[in-house]
Amino acid sequence: MYIDTFPTAAATLPQMLSGNTALVIDVFRATSTMTTALANGASQILPAATVSEARQLAADLTPGSYLLGGERKAVLIPGFDLDNSPRAYGEDLVKAKTIVFTTSNGTKAIRRATTAQNLFLAAFLNARAAAKLAAETKRDVFLVCAGTNDKFSLDDAVCAGLLIEHLTSLKPRARLSDFSLALHQLYLAHRHKLAQLMAKASHHRRLLDLNLKDDITYCLQQDIFNLVPLWDGSKIISP
Amino acid sequence: MYIDTFPTAAATLPQMLSGNTALVIDVFRATSTMTTALANGASQILPAATVSEARQLAADLTPGSYLLGGERKAVLIPGFDLDNSPRAYGEDLVKAKTIVFTTSNGTKAIRRATTAQNLFLAAFLNARAAAKLAAETKRDVFLVCAGTNDKFSLDDAVCAGLLIEHLTSLKPRARLSDFSLALHQLYLAHRHKLAQLMAKASHHRRLLDLNLKDDITYCLQQDIFNLVPLWDGSKIISP
């Protein structure tokens, strides 16, 4: 098994994913939020690349059966039901609902990774389960960090390092690309002080400026879910 | 001062360098070799993007006044005088000579960075001097890692981490991009065991396969030169 990592959605090469397994990571907050929504009973998630595409997807659904969720510039999109806070996707709201979802980085990364044979969503919240599922595919694994506005984002990169730690524990003979190796070493060097490292990340600072400290704390919890969202060719579901 | 880092020549955004300072890094081996050539008395280096461009540049020079140097796939180019081994550029050969130079990654990175206000070449061999010169420009500093065939290369990335350590020592209030921060932390976590970390790099393994262990040992020496090659708009010279 070979493990490679893309630093951003824009840098992801869809042709390399063909026949392989992709783990899309957007810690703050898209993959954390989608994992939470499915864990709380949402029936499916339709990722849209743009706000207008999200509205078009919703127009074909029965009123009352869906919620519009996501963000632009980290805040609620006008006319949408939910923003991109995982804590907003409680069971009372999302159970049995379709979520039409668009975010600045995470949903773009998913759309770029749909060439993969297997496409799973990963975050700290489900890292161990996501790595296990990816290892079981017996394909090469590509970690697709969403990044922030086409820039490398420390939160996604450290989560990639954690996933590589789990993957190499499960598959000790896996070969790592240099970038995977660097992120693995970065994670190992900071595993007991992740919060301090994360506090230096630019995206982290931006969320703090928006009073979203509770979202950060929530998203940095490890393995509170065994659920790994998967793209089935047309939607994101719980396996 | 803001410090950002590009992972490869291809990922380098020339427009971001405009008005700023670029440090181009290709540890194995282009910037190590060019620094050595100038330290040994070469008068100037003309970086060519392609082999045919190198031959065209040479055709305009007086026979005997220049040497053709560089590599493709890490070995000597047919008809060239010198390969890309820094140990080949001894004073006996290069003194007062023009070096027309083309490599797979390093010279491409330089060509992509010529939009910078100040363009310097850096390697482990001259890291402290290169960081000092960059800090003195009082501009934002962009570390341009050449990478290997458009892939992130651990050797360049760790050298970037060392340069960031020197830069932040000189300018403690410098702001780091997330990628710069990650490489700085990677360097700090491995500063006392760099050789072991480097031994895992893919480029390192490839050079070993070519019996170039002595080049690796040479290129990983820190601060044996105070010379920092600079691009003056048409050629690379010693300041």
Query: Tens digits of per-residue pLDDT, B145-201?
Result: 999 989 999 999 999 999 999 999 999 999 999 999 999 999 999 999 998 999 888
Tens-place pLDDT, residues B40-55: 999 999 999 999 999 9
* Contact (CB<8Å) A182/B151: no
- Alpha-helical runs (H) found in chain A: 14-17, 30-39, 51-59, 91-94, 106-112, 127-136, 154-170, 178-190, 194-198, 202-209, 213-219
CA distance B53 to B48: 6
The H or E element spanning position B69 is: strand B66-70
How near does any CA of chain B get to the CA of A84, in Å? Answer: 22
Question: β-strand B236-237 against B230-231: which pairing, if any?
Answer: antiparallel
pTM reported for the whole predicted model: 0.94
Number of Cβ pairs < 8 A linking chain A and chain B: 67
CA distance A11 to B42: 38
* Contact (CB<8Å) B200/A181: yes
CA distance A7 to A161: 12
* Contact (CB<8Å) B186/A181: no
Joined tokens for residue B73: 């796939």
CA distance B148 to B216: 15
Burial of B192 (0-12, 13-18, 19+ CB in 10 A): exposed
CA distance A23 to A7: 12
* Chain B residues lying within 8 Å of A190, measured CB to CB: 185, 189
B198: nearest CA in chain A?
Answer: A178
Joined tokens for residue A62: 């029965």
What value does the mean pLDDT take over residues A165-185? 97
Note whether ipTM > 0.90 here: yes
Chain mean pLDDT for chain B: 96
How near does any CA of chain A get to the CA of B154, in Å? Answer: 5
Joined tokens for residue B207: 């050079």
CB A179 within 8 A of CB A144: no
* Contact (CB<8Å) A178/B7: no
A201: nearest CA in chain B?
Answer: B178
| B13, B178, B197: best to mutate for the A interface, most A CBs within 10 A | B178
Is residue B149 within 8 angstroms of chain A, CB to CB? no
CA distance B170 to A167: 39
Is residue B8 within 8 angstroms of chain A, CB to CB? no
CA distances from B83 to B30, B38, B77, B202, B215 (A): 10, 16, 7, 20, 12
> Which residue among A7, A153, A197 sits closest to B185, beta carbon to beta carbon?
A197
* Chain A residues lying within 8 Å of B179, measured CB to CB: 7, 151-152
Tens-place pLDDT, residues B107-158: 999 999 999 999 999 999 999 999 999 999 999 999 999 999 899 999 999 9
* Contact (CB<8Å) A154/B11: no
A189: nearest CA in chain B?
Answer: B189
B55 CB neighbour count, 10 Å cutoff = 16
B75 CB neighbour count, 10 Å cutoff = 12
